[in-house]
Amino acid sequence: MIMYPHHKAYIQREILLEHPDISFQELALNLEISRGEALVILYELKKEKIE
């Protein structure tokens, strides 16, 4: 996915600061990305935050 790194950075930088508990379904709808991409991005960002 070409836009994956950009989506991930945008979600980390903008979306999660305002909506830290956003679901992957809401994220997918708001950004018009696949639910799978939204799920993976949220998983990776939460995993990075824990480490």
Instruction: Report residue 30's pLDDT band, with 50, 70 and 90 as the boundaries.
Output: very high
Question: How many structural domains does the chain have?
Answer: 1
pLDDT at 40: 97
At residue 51, does pLDDT exceed 80? no
Instruction: Count CB-CB contacts under 10 A for residue 35.
Output: 13
Range of the domain at 20: 4-50
CA distance 41 to 37: 6
**Is residue 6 within 8 Å of 13, Cβ to Cβ?**
no
pLDDT at 27: 96
Average pLDDT rounded to a whole number, residues 7-12? 97
pLDDT at 49: 83
